[in-house]
Structure 1
Amino acid sequence: MGMSVTISTAEASDAEKILKLQYLCYQSEAELYGDYSIEPLTQTLDELRSELAEGCVLVARLGAEVVGSVRGTVDEDGTAKIGKLIVHPRLQRHGLGGRLLAALEDRLAAEREAKVYQLSTGHRSEVNLRMYRKLGYEQVGAARPVSRRLSMVTLEKPAEPARYAATA
């Protein structure tokens, strides 16, 4: 290929590209659970634009192509809610998901004073669960049933103590 993947803040003009990539990436999850009505596949462009305006959204680009994305917000208690980590299927299993997640964690800690990172994935999503655990996330609480076929597993990890020690 000869190009390297860069990670940067998503721009409003990226919304359609992110939504198309999200639709592509969540097909395998929908198939795994036999449910094509999961939220990432039903999210509207307006809802995504709202997330772009309110949260922290990063994209991974290969040239001009958006090949990955992740989103996060931080609540008043310092809990960063991370979601919709996606990587184009042809680039999966090369560390890009981990790079996106680390970049978002850094950004949320530095700019929004995140103290703990929290994310969720489906109970059968073994590849996701394995990656999150490898990156230091641990399951908190029991899996939460969403439907007859899907339960969500919530995982957390603390932010680096040095990042928020000065504000304590």
Structure 2
Amino acid sequence: MGMSVTISAATAQDAEHILKLQYLCYQSEAELYGDYAIEPLTQSLDDLCAEIAGGHALVARLGDEVVASVRGSVGPDGIARIAKLIVHPRLQRHGLGGRLLDAIEDRFAAASPAQRYRLFTGHRSEGNLRLYRSRGYVPVAREEVGPRLTLVTLEKEAAALGAFVASA
């Protein structure tokens, strides 16, 4: 490739690029569950801009191109909810998702200390589940949201971050 991927805070100017990448990345999830009306495929640009403004959002760039992103926010309960971790299909399985997950956890630790990190994925999304488990997340709940989809909620104690990094 010749260029390295850089991770930085997302800005309002990144929103359209993130939305297009999100649409591309969630096609495989929609196909896996037979549902093309999932929220990441129907989210509006205005809603995405509000998410970026109201929480933490990161992008990974290869040169000037946004190739990955993740978003999240910390609630009053001290739980950092991480969402929509996406990596361009051509860059998947090269560690970028893990780097972004680590980066947003670091961002939460520095800006608004969280007691725990929480995220969710579909029960058939084996790649996602594998990534999250490799980063210390453990399943804590399952919720059947339809005949074809069960959401798996995974969590990790924020204190576990330092222990995980030390053992990595």
TM-score, normalised via structure 2 length: 0.94
* Worse overlay, 144-153 or 63-72: 144-153
Distance 2:30 2:80 in 1: 25
CA contact (8 A) 1:109 1:115 kept: no
Q: Which AA in structure 2 matches 1:19?
A: L
Distance 1:161 1:22 in 2: 29
Distance 1:125 1:101 in 2: 17
Matched residue, 2:144: 145
Give the match's secondary structure for 2:6.
strand
Distance 1:161 1:38 in 2: 32
Distance 1:123 1:94 in 2: 22
Matched residue, 2:117: 117
CA displacement 1:23-81 (0-9 Å, x = unmatched)? 00000000000000000000000000000110100000001000000001001121000
Equivalent residue pairs, number: 162
CA contact (8 A) 1:121 1:153 kept: yes
Give the Å deviation of 1:160: 2.6
For the pair 1:154 / 2:153, whether they are aligned, the reply is yes
Matched residue, 2:166: none
Q: Any stretches of 5+ residues in structure 1 without a counterpart?
A: 164-168
Matched residue, 1:26: 26
Q: Any stretches of 5+ residues in structure 2 without a counterpart?
A: 163-168
Q: Which AA in structure 1 matches 2:159?
A: E
Q: Which AA in structure 1 matches 2:156?
A: K
Q: Which AA in structure 1 matches 2:18?
A: I
Distance 2:122 2:14 in 1: 26
CA displacement 1:73-124 (0-9 Å, x = unmatched)? 0011210000000000000000000000000000011101111000000010
Correspondence 1:84-103 to 2 at 5 A? 84-103=84-103
Give the match's secondary structure for 1:140.
strand
Distance 1:37 1:17 in 2: 20
